[in-house]
Amino acid sequence: MTNGWVDIKNTDMMLIMGGNPAENHPCGFKWVIEAKRNRDAKIVVVDPRFTRTASVADQFLQIRAGSDIAFLGGLINYALANNRFNHEYLVNYTNAAFIVKEGFKLPEDGLYSGYDATARTYDKSTWNYEEVGAGAHASDTHSHAVQSSPVPPPTLPPNVAYDLSLQHPRCVFQLLKQQYSRYTPEMVERITGIPRERAIKAWETFTSIRQNGDMKKAGTIIYAVGWTQHSSGTQTIRTAAMIQLLLGNVGRAGGGVNALRGHSNIQGATDMAGIFDILPGYLKMPVPADTDLKTYLTRTTPKASKPKEWDSFNYWSNTPAFTVSLLKALYGDAATKENDFAFNWLPKIDRKYSWAEIWDDMYNGKVKAMMAFGMNGVMIGPNAKKNIEALKKADFLVVCEIYPDETSEFWRAPGTTPEEMAKINTTVYRLPGAGFAEKDGTFVNSARWLQWKWAAVPPPGDCRLDQEILARIFLKIRGKYQQEGGKLPDPILKASWNYTNPNNPSLAEVAKELNGKALADVTDPKTNTTIKADQQLPGFAFLRDDGSTMSGNWLYCGSWTEAGAMIQRRDPADPSGLGIHANWAWSWPMNRRVMYNRASCDLNGKPWDPDRKQIWWSEAKQKWAGNDVPDFKPDSDPKSHMGPFIMNPEGVGRLFVPIGAVADGPFPEHYEPTESLIANPLHPSQSNNPIAKRFKSDMDKYGTPDQGYNIICTTYRLTEHYHYWTKNNPMNVQLVPEPFVEIPAELADQMGLRGGEKVKVTSARADYIAKAMVTKRIKPMMVDGKKTYQIGIPIHWGYRGIAEDAGKTAKTPANYLSPAAIDPNAYTPEFKGFLVKLERV
Amino acid sequence: MDLSRRSFLKTGVVGTVGISALGFDLQPLQAQTATLKIARTTQTRSTCPYCSVSCGIIIHTIGDGAKNVTPAVVHVEGDPDHPINRGTLCPKGSSLLQDIVNDRRLLKPQVRRPGSDHWEDIAWDQAIEEIATKTKLLRDATFVEKDANGKTVNRFDTLAFAGGCTDTNEFNYLVVKSMRAMGVTCLENQARV
Amino acid sequence: MATSSQRFDRSTNHFINRIGLTVVYVGELLRHRAYTRFLHWAYGIFFFLALLSGFGIYMPWIFRWFTPLFGGGAMTRMLHPWFGLGFVFFFGLQAFNWAAAMKWGQGDTRWMKRLRDYVTNRDTIEPPDVGFFNGGQKLMFWEIVGGSIAYVITGVIMWFPEIFGRIAVAISYVIHDISALIMLAGIFIHIYLSTIGEPGTMQAMTRGTVSEAWAWTHHPAWYKQVTGRDPAEALAEARRTQARSSGDQSNQ
Amino acid sequence: MSDRKTLQVQRISGHPGPVAGAGMQREEQVCKLIDTTTCIGCKACEVACVEWNDMPFQPTMFDNTYQTMPDTHWNYWNLIKFNEVTNEDGTFQWLMRKHQCMHCADPGCLAACPADGAIVQYRNGIVDFQEENCIGCQFCVSGCPFNVPKFSPTTKKVYKCTLCSDRVGQGLEPACIKACPTGCLHFGTKSDMLMLAEKRVKQLQTVSGFKEAGTYDPQTIGGTSVVYVLHDASNPEKYGGLPKNPRIPLSFTIWKNWFKPIGLIASMMAFAGVILHYVTEGPRRPQPQPPVKEVDGGEGKKEN
């Protein structure tokens, strides 16, 4: 979330799409209701089903799963055509005025310029800004790219050409107009199945906050994995961000683009780089070409790219300080200036190791072992049967869990015969971990708040704390390398593990390490404050690239300072009434509660809405002041025209994303889901996302309508259950005892099906059996002239659980059905909107 | 402490059967409500482990923290001070007691041997020893120090680590530290999906 | 057995009649055989159990002191329907036993018309057409039959409210109450008449016999039926005998 | 702090005469406000209720609905009723309503209950079952216009929502109210809740276009300590059978309060009657009676 949970109460308008917060985030949803109750805010809900969220919405639109970009593109088109944007914000805070390189082509035929059909990749060199006075130089970079191997990624020009009148035919604004002029109400109706008059009404409503560019009101967009879990997931979210930039809603109280993360600490897990492609604090993973630290830092540290007259903070220019501080934290004294701070000990990656790819690798015999700590990989899928088959080929599996789960029992998944079982040679260790109440530590919520929790009870039985289990395994391995030697033992032997109890590290000690401390005296030249060696750092401004500081995650620097654990603060005061709660816990970055809040003020530093003052430029103090912590250079006079989006080298928000930061195009384009009933009405010849990845194993099959897969199926959670966890909780099992399939009443009538009867859902990959819930909440829709039905399946049941063990279910996990097709940016599988057949059992 | 539900004290309303045979009993009437079951519990502040709203919760355990007491959870309720949830909880958060105290919990380490059709108990030390041995064997057998172009890559890409959604920052950091030190590239988390 | 005439309950060759002994002394007549008496006391007991438990529920604020007899309010409530069923069961058997004798006749209608004379003890002995049971007894019998049916129907409804719904229960509740109140009134009259109201009656339900005098006084037609003698004559003769003996006494 | 709290009683079931000591203390009437227009049917209130009251779990069945079970149960006092409604104008609504004891000002259960002290109404408006006095007759079940009290075949007693009298007595809010994520549940004094309700109703009418929006506080039973805000107050039935004009059957008011004692007295008249008969008319003995020796005062009319 750019903003926060409580901040939603400040909004005047909500578009809730690709998410069902009433169902999945009920306690956060209260702030939606507060806005409705106290500000007369409107709620527009767009979803394939009439959800619990829809039940309290002002408008509900039933959309075909996987067609979100079309609806949002239509919204952009509507806003542009009806003057529903703010010119000042658009020109100064976004790259609308930037001029794009010659040779860039919009995807009228479904492809941007630079597509390589054989490699299924784009050459992104034309996806860039025009450099001032360039033109002739344009070909240089290109020829350069052809000659050298591997291709160095294109870089942004330092001095960007721009046109503040927004009239230049290649300025971002004109290209944006051109791109989305194709998303007419008629086209949107064909693609999404939403009748045009209803779509127009929704667009009118949402953009009504920016009538004639008036900036008083703010609107928010709230989404969740209903957008992410598509083969164009990232681009869908991009479209939302563009709408918010266009409408001037980013950075403002009650505005923003708000991802509602689905779990208690996956925001933290992302920050902490529990994923293959980053290092803690969103630092990039090294690639083989990064032969030394300098090369890596040159590649990953962006340079400001902006109109000459403007200023850009370009915060990522501090990448070297962040990186070196991280290496000091990881390897301690073994990381020295001389050995490049042990940079080369880090693995270097040259391909993707994302979730679905790991399973594919295991299925293909490349990955031989897995350690799963609280991650039920079989249930999560996609194409879960393939995951089961993959595990059968593994050498060993370590599962740390608190309940018996499907992954640890893959070897006795339903349908496995004793003979087959005898042939499964995987050794499975199932280690009893500790539940949340037995552990302390920090969770990061969707609003980026780091909150410490305290342990209430000791782990039961012979359960151990997770960190103890992990530490003991690691230290045992380290001991073996110490005794026996082996391949590259140094990083293992020298990884910093200086905890008071190495076998069971105190999480408070780890939290302090995450914040980081000075290793030598460090002085901030501006304020002349000195942090003495061994003192906790007060913030990431003190991080250094010379090895005199260490920090496990620069984003968390400031979370546990000499003043104490900021993450344990419990002062609920909120003097501004804006829901900032600045002294409750701590949020990254540097306790800023609304990101990019510089954009809440006009060019002169005055809040757009005087009733919702977040920050402002204090002429007297020559500083930015406010109720929130300014997410900005604190002393940057508005006259210097520094862009509010300090994490972008441009300093402004990106309507157009240059140089392939988003792999499938600078502007989002609607592509059909991997499995779709229709050819893309925009460009039937290029129906799907050209660079979305599909897998090629014999278990990866993709269905088509010709094969009889004629119903769209989507998967989701219920408010009564939580993934694959509450099926062990008798209370939640009582609330919703059995799996079911939600089926439109019209379809059920056609099939002669009554609620409670069993149905079989079949995808190209597997079957799923459950009882039918016949409902009026899903209606048939007309998609590109065809009558289309959608059904829905909650994901919560597998083959171990209270209902499962009692024999009340068919023991078919929902993700048996879903395809392994992944988004090219976030590598998230397409769990929503695939094709199935439906039959009575 | 008397934890029994709806144990009523009766002032006047009840009892004294014979005396009130004619029903007229002029004692002032006050009916006793049930005992407040959390009146004497120990409270621990925690965070709900489910979604990302991060509702503050209060875990009530028996005993006052004295040495000779093993605290057991008797009730879980929202933390009214928490700015986001302000004491509210969803149906999952409200049933956290059954997540903490649950007879389906795994309580001892187990192993399933190759070809076996059942779990066997295994001692912790034995399990850790076996896991470490297998991991080292695999790493030493498959570690890639240099790629085809002779560039240092230091990859251990045959072992995957899958992190869960409720792992804390601190735990995740230890994962990154230990796994990246071994050269693990297949590092993924619920955050991806 | 002192009679050769056909008895209404001859067909009842119940084993209880073989166990229970009925001794008829000289000057007495067989009134109720053992089976009948057994039934009477059986439903009598259940009647009082049901009555006491019922009134514990009817108005606990007055009758709460009944409930400890049954183990408290909830237990009382739980037992009450079973008491009721017990009553209905045994009374049902009695109803079959007595069905013939309870048949309403012309004489009974005449008897009802003379009720006032009966209450004020105007007649020395009952009119000659009063048989084994008089009209009042028959009326009470049929009231209990009707009341029992009402009890069972309304009782079952109140026993299982979740099946029958709240309105049915609300109506049943009133009918059940009314039926109970009528029977309560009836039981006072019944007990009175069988004890101090008409001395000599009680032994009909204890030993099973009545004196001949009792018989010709209260049930002349039945007396005539079982003895073949005219009740009026029998009375006259008895008076004469009494006069003689009292004369003897006064002469002493 | 005391763990126990006594609450002032205003009314007692099956109790003769006035409530002794009534009016000894001031006490505000408390009230739950349920705004069905912001209810998302999340069932947090259901769980909070089960958890607070430590009620045992029970198996449920899939029934083609999100609703947990068809109706409340003796160990499940709080149930959200889900209704998919297509209105006459073609608009579709998924209505959710938290169903529980309404804590009527004029409680049908209390009126019906014959057991002294089994149901009490506190001065703060809470209608509470005191199970130890309950005799399990289930008349309260019939007396309730909302079908709330439920009988346990195991304990032979009747149970229902207590409005968390244990919590309220200690100054806390009821468990369901505290849990409610959206704030569709609210707790406070009745007057405050009515004010909030009116405000919300006005907003629904003017901003959200629900012309028939209204408050549900049925006066046929004297109002309730649980008040609903409905999108369509003209048709409460569509919210899972909320009666428009809930009433207590006359049998539990007129019959119970008036005719029952009168009937009893009438019955007892028979007792008086036979005594009187014995005194005035005397017994009726088999004839001939023994001769009378002397007659005291009367003219010996019995002598025939």
Facing residue for D62 by CB, picked from A27, A40, A756: A756
pLDDT digits (tens, 9 = 90+) for A734-778: 999 999 999 999 999 999 999 999 999 999 999 999 999 999 999
Chain B interface includes D20 (CB < 8 A): yes
Facing residue for A25 by CB, picked from B53, B154, B189: B53
CB A93 within 8 A of CB A653: yes
* Shortest alpha-carbon distance between residue D94 and chain C (Å): 28
Chain A interface includes D92 (CB < 8 A): yes
Q: Residue type at A437?
A: A
In this model, does residue A136 exceed pLDDT 60?
Answer: no
Sheet arrangement for strand B42-47: B42-47, B56-61, B73-78
Name the one residue in this structure whose structure tokens are 């050298």. Answer: A148
In this model, does residue B32 exceed pLDDT 80?
Answer: no
What is the per-residue pLDDT for A731? Answer: 97
Least confident of A130-139, A428-437, B155-164: A130-139
Q: What is the mean pLDDT of residues A390-395?
A: 98
| Strand pairing category for A549-550 and B120-121 | unpaired
Contact residues, chain D, for C127 at CB < 8 Å:
none
Chain B interface includes D128 (CB < 8 A): yes
Chain D interface includes B15 (CB < 8 A): no
Chain B interface includes C64 (CB < 8 A): yes
Facing residue for B88 by CB, picked from D24, D132, D178: D178
Contact residues, chain A, for D181 at CB < 8 Å:
26-27, 29-30
In this model, does residue A368 exceed pLDDT 80?
Answer: yes
CB A555 within 8 A of CB A589: yes
Cα nearest neighbour of C72 on chain B: B17
Least confident of A75-89, A140-154, A405-419: A140-154
What is the per-residue pLDDT for B31? Answer: 63
Taking the CB of residue D256, how many other CB atoms lie within 10 A of it? 25
List domains and CATH numbers for chain B. 1-35 (no CATH), 42-100 (2.20.25.90), 110-192 (no CATH)
Facing residue for D57 by CB, picked from A734, A736, A740: A734
Distance separating alpha carbons of residues A640 and C173, to the nearest angstrom:
87
Confidence of residue C18 (pLDDT cuts 50, 70, 90): confident
In this model, does residue B95 exceed pLDDT 70?
Answer: yes
Q: If contacts are CB pairs under 8 Å, which of residues 18-37 in chain B contact chain A?
A: none
In this model, does residue B175 exceed pLDDT 90?
Answer: yes
What is the per-residue pLDDT for C98? Answer: 92
**Cross-chain residue pair B51–A396, CB shorter than 8 Å:** no
pLDDT digits (tens, 9 = 90+) for D60-79: 999 999 999 999 999 999 99
CA-closest candidate to residue D68, choices A443, A3, D58:
D58
Chain B interface includes D299 (CB < 8 A): no
Q: What is the mean pLDDT of residues A87-101?
A: 96
In this model, does residue A799 exceed pLDDT 50?
Answer: yes
Distances (CA, A) of C58 to B9, B121, C61: 25, 64, 9
In this model, does residue A346 exceed pLDDT 50?
Answer: yes
Q: Which residue has the higher pLDDT, C243 or B79?
A: B79
**Cross-chain residue pair A734–D203, CB shorter than 8 Å:** no
Which of D47, D52, D163 to mutate to test binding with chain B, by most B CBs within 10 Å of its CB? Answer: D47
**Cross-chain residue pair B31–D117, CB shorter than 8 Å:** yes
**Cross-chain residue pair B23–D15, CB shorter than 8 Å:** yes
Peptide bond into C161 cis (omega under 30): no
Cα nearest neighbour of A718 on chain D: D42
In this model, does residue D295 exceed pLDDT 70?
Answer: no
What is the per-residue pLDDT for D262? Answer: 92
- CB–CB contacts below 8 A, B to C: 14
List domains and CATH numbers for chain C. 30-251 (1.20.950.20)
3-class SS at D300? Answer: coil
What is the per-residue pLDDT for B9? Answer: 34
In this model, does residue B172 exceed pLDDT 50?
Answer: yes
Confidence of residue A140 (pLDDT cuts 50, 70, 90): very low
Least confident of A433-447, A615-629, A645-659, C99-113: C99-113
Mean pLDDT, chain C, rounded, equals 88
CA-closest candidate to residue D46, choices D91, D8, D81:
D81
- CB–CB contacts below 8 A, A to B: 475
What is the per-residue pLDDT for B4? Answer: 36
Touch test C–A: 3 Cβ pairs or more under 8 Å: no
Q: If contacts are CB pairs under 8 Å, which of residues 164-203 in chain C contact chain D?
A: 166-167, 169-171, 173-174, 177-178, 181-182, 184-186, 188-189, 192-193, 196-200
In this model, does residue A134 exceed pLDDT 80?
Answer: no
Distance of CA A754 to the CA centre of its chain: 39
Distances (CA, A) of C170 to D66, D252, D253: 33, 7, 10
In this model, does residue D277 exceed pLDDT 60?
Answer: yes
Chain D interface includes A36 (CB < 8 A): yes
**Cross-chain residue pair C217–D15, CB shorter than 8 Å:** no
In this model, does residue B28 exceed pLDDT 80?
Answer: no
Confidence of residue D286 (pLDDT cuts 50, 70, 90): confident
In this model, does residue D123 exceed pLDDT 80?
Answer: yes
Q: Which residue has the higher pLDDT, D40 or C56?
A: D40
Confidence of residue D241 (pLDDT cuts 50, 70, 90): very high
pLDDT digits (tens, 9 = 90+) for A241-270: 999 999 999 999 999 999 999 999 999 999
Confidence of residue A135 (pLDDT cuts 50, 70, 90): low
Confidence of residue C72 (pLDDT cuts 50, 70, 90): confident
Chain B interface includes D169 (CB < 8 A): yes
- CB–CB contacts below 8 A, C to D: 158
What is the per-residue pLDDT for C250? Answer: 52
Q: Which residue has the higher pLDDT, D234 or D14?
A: D234
Distance separating alpha carbons of residues C69 and C63, to the nearest angstrom:
11
Q: What is the mean pLDDT of residues D157-168?
A: 94
Chain D interface includes A807 (CB < 8 A): no
Q: If contacts are CB pairs under 8 Å, which of residues 36-55 in chain D contact chain B?
A: 42-44, 46-48, 51-54
**Cross-chain residue pair B152–A291, CB shorter than 8 Å:** yes
- Residue D164 contacts by C-beta under 8 Å, 6 or more apart in sequence? D52, D172, D173, D174, D175, D176
Contact residues, chain D, for A776 at CB < 8 Å:
84, 86, 92
Q: Which two tokens stand for residue C107?
A: 């004489």
Q: Which two tokens stand for residue A224?
A: 């969740």
Q: What is the mean pLDDT of residues C203-226?
A: 92
**Cross-chain residue pair B9–D43, CB shorter than 8 Å:** no
pLDDT digits (tens, 9 = 90+) for A514-562: 999 999 999 988 889 999 999 999 999 999 999 999 999 999 999 999 9
- Give me the interface pTM, i.e. the ipTM: 0.91
Distances (CA, A) of A529 to A525, A537, C27, D297: 7, 11, 130, 126
Percentage of chain B lying above the pLDDT 90 cut? 75
Contact residues, chain A, for D96 at CB < 8 Å:
52, 55
In this model, does residue D228 exceed pLDDT 60?
Answer: yes
**Cross-chain residue pair A398–B131, CB shorter than 8 Å:** yes
pLDDT digits (tens, 9 = 90+) for D243-272: 999 999 888 888 888 898 899 999 999 999
In this model, does residue B1 exceed pLDDT 70?
Answer: no
Q: If contacts are CB pairs under 8 Å, which of residues 50-79 in chain C contact chain D?
A: 56-62, 64, 67, 72-78
Chain A interface includes D51 (CB < 8 A): yes
Mean pLDDT, chain A, rounded, equals 95
What is the per-residue pLDDT for B104? Answer: 97
Name the one residue in this structure whose structure tokens are 């990845």. Answer: A693
Facing residue for D180 by CB, picked from B1, B27, B88: B88
Which CATH architecture does the domain made up of D9-248 adopt?
2-Layer Sandwich (3.30)
CB D247 within 8 A of CB D221: yes
Confidence of residue B14 (pLDDT cuts 50, 70, 90): very low
What is the per-residue pLDDT for C8? Answer: 65
Q: What is the mean pLDDT of residues A370-375?
A: 97
Which of A371, A473, A584, A734 to mutate to test binding with chain B, by most B CBs within 10 Å of its CB? Answer: A371
What is the per-residue pLDDT for C60? Answer: 81
**Cross-chain residue pair B191–A274, CB shorter than 8 Å:** yes
pLDDT digits (tens, 9 = 90+) for A705-727: 999 999 999 999 999 999 999 99
What is the per-residue pLDDT for D72? Answer: 96
Contact residues, chain C, for D278 at CB < 8 Å:
192, 196-197
* Shortest alpha-carbon distance between residue B159 and chain A (Å): 5
Cα nearest neighbour of A577 on chain B: B83
- Residue A625 contacts by C-beta under 8 Å, 6 or more apart in sequence? A615, A616, A617, A618
N residues, chain B: 193
List domains and CATH numbers for chain A. 1-262+645-668 (3.40.228.10), 355-443+457-494 (3.40.50.740), 684-840 (2.40.40.20)
Q: In A489-597, which ranges are E strands? A: 517-518, 522-524, 529-531, 549-550, 560-561, 564-565, 586-587
Chain C interface includes D14 (CB < 8 A): yes
Confidence of residue B30 (pLDDT cuts 50, 70, 90): low
What is the per-residue pLDDT for B59? Answer: 97
What is the per-residue pLDDT for C247? Answer: 65
**Cross-chain residue pair C68–B17, CB shorter than 8 Å:** yes
Q: Which residue has the higher pLDDT, A509 or C65?
A: A509
pLDDT digits (tens, 9 = 90+) for D32-53: 999 999 999 999 999 999 999 9
Which of A9, A376, A488 to mutate to test binding with chain B, by most B CBs within 10 Å of its CB? Answer: A488
